[in-house]
Chains A and B, each alone.
Chain A
């Protein structure tokens, strides 16, 4: 009998691990949005002075890791496990950063839900006594993601009415048994849901049912209602996807109130040329580890449910006409 499991799919940590520190690094577009002041480092050049965008992305993740460690005055040797992932083939950003860091590495992939997926694993390792300190990190980069999933950067393509803009940046979060104010209390890994959306320009509509499923399961498992949380934030549904989510939750009889927001919308509110909002691993990571964590440290937010959404497609599957399997991973943070 699993002692830390409640309901259908939720983990309730026996001794909730805490966020010891977090580091966020954001690119130029992100720094133009309303979230800019919550980031530890803002890089005006998205190439980070590097020759390739892939190298630049590594610098973003590497800096986020360094900031998280420096804030907690922790040396890399003290990190028991480094759990990280990104959007590139074979999660190379995470692997290269892991080589620099030197800690034992567990590479993970959950597309844009990797932020919560890696934090869930880190928390589980700490809670179960496998680690004293686990570091979770994730990154995304507009240019590398475009190259990976879409078209060359300079190609003349018109944005669709549902297109989103991949966030450039990274977040790293250090999880430990003590030494922090924000506790990680529950986690609800999501199921893979595919409602048949085939258009890779419609990530929000593709992911909304997965977000609805995970939020519904999390609330049912914990016996909570949406008002329990000060904020419920989805990772990167964008304005269209979050409108669909609200409708889906309404139809399931669990309407979300004004405490609901979407990270993709928050990140790029008022920033021109970003479509219906941000996306990418960095989107949810920057919101969770920048805005939410810092506001919780100031006691302005006392409880948060972060629901990072991910579209688990590859450029191969959509070219072959397959629909987009999606996931949403939820994690509950409380003071």
Chain B
């Protein structure tokens, strides 16, 4: 028996195997994925722009229209998730569906739906941000860092 903690398979055996395996594992269709992500992501952003234009046309300024536009897109993402549609968009478009704010809304709604069965407190309430949590934590952290740098470097 190998020493406790030592692996029976030597690292060069493992490296050799992984080389063999990766020669057989099909490569992801990178060009297709990039193109589809670009087009679908672009379409979602175009819809967002149209929503924003509609708010501006109704008399808001550009700055005022940002909040309601984001809220509308989040609502759309949540509704499409609830109707079990958004994950098909994600399956098809990858990052094109994940990066826009509709994708962020999906991560929260999907987790909320999944954990609802464990109750509203310990399930949905506690686990709703299980995927979105890191985005919030590091988004806020980088926001604070940038603001701090800006504050320190003011003349």
Contact B24 A156 (CB under 8 A): no
Interface residue A314 (Cβ < 8 Å from any Cβ of B) = no
Contact B87 A208 (CB under 8 A): no
Stretch of A34-42, A82-90, A147-155, A215-223 with 4 or more beta carbons under 8 angstroms from chain B: A147-155
Contact A154 B24 (CB under 8 A): no
CB under 8 Å from chain B, chain A span 263-313: 273
Assuming A51-B117, A194-B7, is B89 touching A156 (CB within 8 A)? yes
Interface residue A247 (Cβ < 8 Å from any Cβ of B) = yes
Mask of A232-265 contacts with B, CB within 8 angstroms, 1/0:
0000000010011001100000000000000000
CB under 8 Å from chain A, chain B span 69-113: 81-82, 84, 86-87, 89-95, 97-98, 103, 106-107, 109-111, 113
Find B17's partner among A151, A152, A160, A209 (CB 8 Å cutoff).
A209
**In the bound complex, CA of A125 to CA of B83 (Å):** 50
Contact A152 B113 (CB under 8 A): yes
Find B24's partner among A53, A151, A194, A244 (CB 8 Å cutoff).
A244
Find B26's partner among A155, A158, A240, A247 (CB 8 Å cutoff).
A240
- Contact-residue bracket for chain A: 20 to 34
**In the bound complex, CA of A152 to CA of B117 (Å):** 12
Residue among B14, B24, B28, B29 with max Cβ neighbours from chain A (10 Å) = B24
A53 neighbours in B (Cβ, 8 Å): 117
**In the bound complex, CA of A248 to CA of B19 (Å):** 12
**In the bound complex, CA of A194 to CA of B13 (Å):** 11
Contact B91 A158 (CB under 8 A): yes
CB under 8 Å from chain A, chain B span 11-62: 11, 13-15, 17-18, 20-21, 24-29, 33
Interface residue A193 (Cβ < 8 Å from any Cβ of B) = yes
**In the bound complex, CA of A154 to CA of B105 (Å):** 11
Contact A161 B90 (CB under 8 A): no
Assuming A157-B91, A158-B94, A196-B18, is B25 touching A152 (CB within 8 A)? no
Find B18's partner among A156, A157, A158, A197 (CB 8 Å cutoff).
A197
Interface residue A74 (Cβ < 8 Å from any Cβ of B) = no
Closest to B106 in A: A156
**In the bound complex, CA of A158 to CA of B95 (Å):** 8
A155 neighbours in B (Cβ, 8 Å): 87, 90, 106-107, 110-111, 131
Mask of B121-132 contacts with A, CB within 8 angstroms, 1/0:
000000000110
A194 neighbours in B (Cβ, 8 Å): 7, 9
Residue among A155, A161, A194 with max Cβ neighbours from chain B (10 Å) = A155
Beyond the given A52-B117, A154-B84, A240-B24, could you list 11 further A-B residue pairs with CB under 8 A, ordered by the A residue number? A53-B117, A153-B87, A154-B110, A154-B113, A156-B87, A158-B95, A161-B26, A196-B17, A196-B18, A197-B21, A205-B25
B interface, CB within 8 angstroms of A: 7, 9, 11, 13-15, 17-18, 20-21, 24-29, 33, 81-82, 84, 86-87, 89-95, 97-98, 103, 106-107, 109-111, 113-115, 117, 130-131
Complex A-B, nearest 6 residue pairs according to Cβ-Cβ distance, in ascending order: A156-B90, A152-B114, A154-B110, A196-B14, A158-B94, A152-B110
Residue contacts A-B, CB under 8 angstroms, 9 given: A53-B117, A152-B113, A152-B115, A154-B113, A154-B114, A155-B107, A156-B86, A156-B97, A196-B9
